[in-house]
Amino acid sequence: MPMFKYEAMNHLGQPVKDEVEATSSEDAVAKIRALGYFPTEIKERAAKRARGPRAAAAAGPAPTARRTAGSIPKKMLTQFTRQLSTLQDAGLPILRSLRILEQQQKPGMMRVAIRLVADDVEGGSSLSESMGRHPKAFDRLYTNMIRAGEAGGVLDVILQRLADFMERAQALKRKIIGAMIYPAAVISFAMIIVTLLLLFVVPQFADIFEGMGVDLPGPTLMLLALSDWVGEKNGWVVILMVPVAVWLTFRLLRVSDGGRYFVDRIKLGIPIMGQIASKGAVARFSRTLGVLLSAGVPILDAITITSDTAGNEVYARALRRVRDGIREGESFAEPLRQAKIVQPMVVNMIDVGEETGELDTMLEKVADTYEDEVNTLVSSMTSLLEPVMVITLGGIVGFIVLALFMPMVSLIENVSGK
């Protein structure tokens, strides 16, 4: 009996790799599911190379691995979800809807993913099972929402909610990234301008000062020393390499769980930017969890998925502690209160939601509130940064001009005194 290698996920969402003996790939899928796993990739293990041409002929053609789709841009996935929701609301069969959307797509990974999913659906698989075989294209949150919609017979409604959720998530992410790009861009241009002044302008004045024969004031000496370090001692290389080194350090740290926690904790501690990151993370996990619960996903599975997609390791760890607390019989609100990652108002709203059986509604309200606060913070920070940046740049340029012209003022005073 042939052996099949498989990759799957257990009930906690953790990856599992193993082998199973089965008569066919369908039989292998059934056995894997009987173990409580959700298969994502299955392929028959190649038989050992036989000796002689007869054995090779008896072995038959080598099995081919199932092709899986790669990652898809979120914008394209959101558009596909919205279009699929419209077609389902119009009453079209799911296979017909997928084929229509496949034809509308331009050549690329999105089209490949839709074709592979449609082929699996045509072969008898459900939509959620078909999408689950392509985890890079359709993540766990997406496939679980689809599964809940299929189980409840409200796939069109779930697709619409999923599209709304993805659009809100992208808008919030763009808002936060835009808020971080602005100060980074201004600081980068300021550093480039100051470095160019120190490299090309200040050395010209240094030659003039040598022939003047006057004592240079402290600011001028400081500026000349800085210019000498940037130009003669290759300090400009250090200025260019420091941001790259910092970026690489953070990227390497994010490889491990501990490193991600350290980086995300630092982000949350940055003034103003930390508040935006914190409120954005709360809005994200509240929206994700609320959408999953409203779709009928079990709360433990919903919290596991939410922690995996939280985007911030500090909040992901807190959600895992909440999940463990619920398993031990605690409420949702109590472990969240002990984690101290959200304001008491959020905990109280979640507590009320549990008491009234409207937890998903309360989480949606929390997400709406925090998204509004993020928008307010971003607008306020942008308005505040403009004058702060102008004043800072003016101070830097003013110091350079003052340091360069102070020796000339001293020279004029000496000449006038004589």
Q: Which of the listed residues 32, 59, 86 is the one where a domain comes to its end?
A: 59
Residue 367 has pLDDT above 50, yes or no: yes
- The structure tokens listed for 210 are 């040598």
Residues 339 and 412 in one domain: yes
- The answer to whether the CB of 367 falls within 8 A of the CB of 290 is yes
If one counts the domains in the chain, the total is 3
Q: Is the pLDDT of residue 303 over 80?
A: yes
Gyration radius of the chain over CA positions: 30
Asked if pLDDT for residue 245 goes beyond 50, the answer is yes
Decide if 295 is inside a domain: yes
pTM of the model: 0.63
Q: Please tell me the distance from the alpha carbon of residue 354 to that of residue 364, in angstroms, as a whole number.
A: 14
Q: Is residue 182 part of a domain?
A: yes
**Residue bearing the bigger pLDDT, 46 or 106:** 106
Residue 141 has pLDDT above 70, yes or no: yes
Average pLDDT over residues 125-138: 86
Going from the C-alpha of 15 to that of each of 38, 106, 141, 195, 291, the distances in angstroms are: 9, 32, 15, 50, 24
Q: Give yes or no: residues 53 and 96 share one domain.
A: no
- Are residues 44 and 111 located together in one domain of the fold? no
Same domain (yes/no): 286, 374:
yes
Ranked by mean pLDDT, the top range of 117-131, 185-199, 213-227 is: 117-131
What's the pLDDT score for residue 172? 76
Residue pair 130/154 in contact by the 8 Å Cβ criterion: no
Give the burial class of 245: count Cβ atoms within 10 A of its Cβ; 0-12 exposed, 13-18 middle, 19 or more buried: exposed
Mean pLDDT of 319-325: 86
| Model pLDDT, residue 225 | 87
Question: Are residues 310 and 255 part of one domain?
Answer: yes
Whether pLDDT at 151 is above 60: yes
Q: What is residue 67's predicted lDDT score, i.e. its pLDDT?
A: 62
Which domain does 7 fall in, by range?
3-59
- Tell me which amino acid residue 59 is: A
Residue 153 forms part of a structural domain = no
143 domain-assigned: no
Q: Parallel, antiparallel, or unpaired: how do β-strands 15-21 and 3-9 relate? A: antiparallel
Q: Reply yes or no on whether the pLDDT at 327 is more than 80.
A: yes
Same domain, 203 and 301: yes
The stretch 90-105 carries a mean pLDDT of 87
Show Cβ contacts of residue 178 under 8 Å, excluding neighbours closer than 6 positions.
378
42 sits in which H/E element:
strand 38-44
Task: Tell me what percent of the residues of the chain surpass a pLDDT of 70.
Answer: 89
| Mean local confidence (pLDDT), 383-397 | 81
Quick one: average pLDDT of 383-400? 82
| Distance, CA of 341 to chain centre | 19
Closest to 336 in 3D by CA, of 295, 389, 290, 282: 282
Among candidates 373, 347, 370, which has minimal Cα distance to 359?
347
Tens digit of each residue's pLDDT (9 = 90 or more) over 331-350: 888 888 887 778 888 888 88
SS (H, E, C) 184-222: HHHHHHHHHHHHHHHHHHHHHHHHHHHCCCCCCCHHHHH
